[in-house]
């Protein structure tokens, strides 16, 4: 029972007890008064009647007539005359009924009417004694009316006291509710301070809570800053702030391996010519400024185009990965023109060469970098600010035209030419956390099922992501009902803002409540931050249905995790570019361990994507992650099923 309810019950009980006690005391006091009045009345009436009887000179007939007349007035329950010899000469009696007081009241509050006795004499001769007993029914009626009036008055006083008590309780409840909301905000990852109330005890409580919130916020900000600092150390070049070689290659490999990675694109490799000689002749400070100018020119593209990758591979080499086909050559020539104007200001020998190649689905990072090196070598052989392109034939076999794209994707959904592929996420004991289920579509009835990298950009352009995501969720729910295994689907950012999709999704989940509790949905980290309010509202819709909400491909913006936690997330999946190579990179391991500790402090689980080796997996367990997925986990799972080995991901 809540504290406020206890106060309410205590207040109600006190008022009722006071009301009942007051009415009871008033009734008993009034009864005593009425009994005293009846006793005095009986005594006075007996004396008056005895005096009247004494004047009858002992004539019993006249005396009887007088007593009968007195009795007939209706105020007496009994009149009795006993002669001097002890014999009853006259007796009249009747039981009176109360006119207004209920029977139960008469029984519970009896009123005694003490008899009044007086001696009757004729001069010196004693004639006998007369006894008079008045009716108590009139007294009961008066007592009943008085009790009702007293009860009404006490009820009015009680209501007034209750109203005042209500005001007091509300004045106490407001700061208590504020304190509870403040504590709940901490659970939700928000740091809220509240005004201090006037009640001294609650004022001290609120002041202590505000102080704790401020300290926690300071501690959280410090931890977030530490995470960002470790990320910079692990992933970024110290001079330019761009991704270092390991991180850039990790991002490139992750994009090439992901189901929703770019199907086509371009890789631009840029080199500052003869870096050693420039350092000798111009000095490190001048060359560093030239490198910063190159970095600033390259940073324009990630700001404009989502999904671009940019990094400094070594002292003189920069790489820019563009997720859009047939624009890499234009980008390279634009960069050459811009740097041809900016770099000569640092010296006549400061120049760059640029190599460009096309990215096609199925290529590895090593193949891309090898081809880019060849193109760069060709550019260097042609002189300063040269651009060498080796775009070749694009792999784009997709149909052209938005209308055709929309028709093919719509037909695939309508004809149920779609399937979910499954990749296991396991914990350190080998237990299945859930199955990642990216959707594949058969755009051509006679063709293969295509990964999202091939058709997702087309679906986004045609505004079909909501239909695609709804179909994926429906497939996942049906498969959960079939085998009971928990599953996860990823949603496109555009679906979050589609009210019709959210309504349709709720209907799907409400139709299968048991399956919904085994479903997880994921949003990519950039989309979660860029559409935070939509994600927050989306999470509020899903949480009552038991669906888990996760963040995938995370790592670059974990310093803003306070916002992500406020969105109502249940878990975070660290991107493959963050986790790959952790076993041999202490700075990367430190970043993951600190991030995991921070996320665990916010009651978020942490999973690792793209695990490709046993060594990396063991290092990730040491860092504290709760689960892992990736090529090695899938391969180990297949080997375990085939050869009945230890469970997938079990510690050695």
What would the mean pLDDT of 134-148 be, rounded to a whole number?
Answer: 83
Position 178 pLDDT exceeds 50? yes
Report CA torsion sign: 228, 231, 237, 238: positive
pLDDT digits (tens, 9 = 90+) for 261-299: 777 889 999 999 989 989 999 999 999 999 999 999 999
Position 256 pLDDT exceeds 70? yes
Position 652 pLDDT exceeds 70? no
Position 559 pLDDT exceeds 70? no
Question: CA 66 to CA 133: how far, in whole Å?
Answer: 16
What would the mean pLDDT of 221-248 be, rounded to a whole number?
Answer: 85
pLDDT digits (tens, 9 = 90+) for 422-475: 999 999 998 999 999 999 998 888 888 888 877 887 777 778 888 999 999 999
What would the mean pLDDT of 381-392 be, rounded to a whole number?
Answer: 83
Q: In this prediction, what percent of the chain has a pLDDT beyond 90?
A: 27
Question: CA 143 to CA 628: how far, in whole Å?
Answer: 84
Position 639 pLDDT exceeds 60? no
Given a contact cutoff of 8 angstroms between Cβ atoms, the answer to whether 111 and 122 are in contact is no
pLDDT band at 644 (very low <50, low <70, confident <90, very high): very low
Straight-line distance from the first to the last Cα atom of the chain, in angstroms, rounded to the nearest whole number: 49
Residue 648, pLDDT score: 36
Residue 565, pLDDT score: 61
Q: In this prediction, what percent of the chain has a pLDDT beyond 70?
A: 92
Given a contact cutoff of 8 angstroms between Cβ atoms, the answer to whether 182 and 194 are in contact is yes
Given a contact cutoff of 8 angstroms between Cβ atoms, the answer to whether 493 and 461 are in contact is no
Please, what is the average pLDDT of the chain? 84
Residue 624, pLDDT score: 93
Kind of pairing between the strands at 548-554 and 519-524: parallel
Q: Which pair of tokens denotes residue 607? A: 């999973």
**DSSP assignments along 548-593, one per residue:** EEEEEEESTTGGGHHHHHHTT--EEEE-HHHHTTGGG-HHHHHHHH
Show the domains of the chain with their CATH numbers: 3-160 (3.30.450), 264-390 (3.30.70.270), 405-643 (3.20.20.450)
Residue 479, pLDDT score: 94
Question: CA 389 to CA 439: how far, in whole Å?
Answer: 34
Which position has the higher pLDDT, 518 or 463? 518
Position 321 pLDDT exceeds 90? yes
- Provide the β-strand partners of residue 17: none
CA–centroid distance for 129 within its chain: 91
What would the mean pLDDT of 590-606 be, rounded to a whole number?
Answer: 87
Q: Which of 628, 606, 497, 491 is nearest to 547 (CA)?
A: 491
pLDDT digits (tens, 9 = 90+) for 189-203: 667 777 877 777 777
What would the mean pLDDT of 196-211 be, rounded to a whole number?
Answer: 78
pTM equals 0.67
């Amino acid at each position: 029972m809540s504290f406020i309810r206890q106060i309410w019950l205590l207040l109600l009980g006190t008022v009722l007890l006071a009301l009942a006690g007051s009415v009871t005391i008033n009734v008993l006091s009034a009864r005593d008064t009425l009994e005293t009045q009846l006793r005095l009345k009986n005594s006075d009436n007996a004396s008056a009647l005895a005096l009247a009887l004494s004047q009858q000179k002992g004539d019993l007939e006249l005396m009887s007539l007088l007593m009968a007349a007195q009795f007939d007035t209706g105020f007496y329950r009994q009149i009795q005359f006993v002669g001097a010899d002890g014999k009853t000469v006259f007796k009249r009696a009747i039981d009176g009924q109360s006119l207004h007081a209920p029977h139960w009241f008469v029984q519970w509050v009896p009123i005694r009417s003490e008899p009044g006795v007086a001696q009757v004499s004729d001069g010196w001769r004693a004639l006998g004694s007369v006894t008079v007993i008045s009716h108590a029914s009139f007294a009961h009626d008066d007592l009943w009316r008085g009790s009702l009036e007293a009860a009404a008055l006490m009820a009015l006083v009680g209501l007034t006291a209750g109203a005042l008590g209500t005001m007091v309780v509300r004045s106490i409840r407001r700061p208590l509710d504020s304190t509870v909301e403040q504590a709940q905000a901490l659970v939700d990852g928000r740091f809220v301070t509240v005004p201090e109330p006037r009640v001294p005890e609650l004022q001290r409580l609120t002041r202590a809570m505000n102080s704790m919130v401020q300290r926690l916020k300071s501690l959280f900000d410090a931890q977030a800053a530490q995470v960002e600092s470790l990320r910079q150390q692990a992933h970024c070049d110290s001079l330019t702030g761009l991704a270092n070689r390991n991180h850039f290659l990790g991002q490139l490999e992750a994009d090439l391996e992901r189901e929703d990675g770019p199907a086509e694109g371009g890789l631009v490799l840029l080199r500052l010519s003869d870096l050693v000689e420039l350092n000798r002749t111009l000095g490190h400070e001048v060359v560093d400024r030239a490198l910063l100018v190159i970095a600033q020119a390259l940073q324009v593209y990630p700001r404009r185009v989502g999904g671009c990758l940019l990094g400094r591979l070594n002292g003189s080499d920069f790489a820019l990965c563009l997720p859009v086909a047939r624009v890499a050559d234009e980008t390279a020539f634009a960069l050459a023109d811009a740097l041809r104007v900016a770099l000569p200001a640092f010296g006549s020998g400061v120049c760059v060469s640029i190599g460009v190649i096309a990215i096609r689905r199925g290529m590895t990072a090593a193949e891309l970098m090898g081809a880019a090196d060849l193109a760069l070598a060709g550019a260097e052989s042609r002189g300063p600010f040269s651009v060498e392109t080796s775009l070749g034939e694009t792999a784009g076999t997709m149909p052209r035209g938005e209308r055709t794209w929309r028709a093919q994707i719509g037909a695939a959904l309508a004809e149920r030419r779609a399937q979910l592929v499954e990749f296991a996420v396991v914990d350190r004991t080998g237990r299945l956390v859930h199955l990642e289920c990216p959707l594949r579509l058969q755009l051509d009835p006679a063709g293969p099922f295509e990964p999202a990298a091939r058709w997702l950009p087309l679906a986004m352009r045609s505004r079909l992501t909501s239909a695609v995501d709804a179909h994926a969720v429906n497939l996942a729910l049906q498969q959960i009902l079939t085998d009971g295994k928990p599953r996860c689907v990823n949603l496109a950012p555009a679906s979050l803002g589609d009210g019709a999709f959210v309504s349709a999704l709720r209907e799907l989940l409400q139709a299968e409540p048991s399956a919904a509790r085994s479903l997880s949905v994921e949003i990519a980290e950039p989309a979660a931050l860029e559409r935070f309010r939509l994600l927050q509202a989306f999470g509020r819709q899903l949480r009552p249905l038991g669906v888990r909400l996760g963040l995938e491909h995370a790592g670059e913006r974990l310093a803003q995790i306070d916002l992500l936690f406020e969105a109502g997330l249940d878990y975070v999946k660290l991107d493959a570019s963050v986790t790959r190579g952790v076993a041999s990179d202490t700075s990367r391991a430190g970043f993951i361990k600190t991030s995991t500790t921070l996320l665990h402090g916010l009651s978020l689980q942490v999973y690792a994507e793209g695990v490709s080796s046993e060594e990396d997996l063991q290092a990730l367990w040491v860092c504290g992650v709760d689960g892992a997925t990736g090529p090695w986990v899938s391969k180990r799972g297949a080997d375990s099923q085939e050869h009945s080995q230890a469970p997938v991901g079990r510690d050695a």
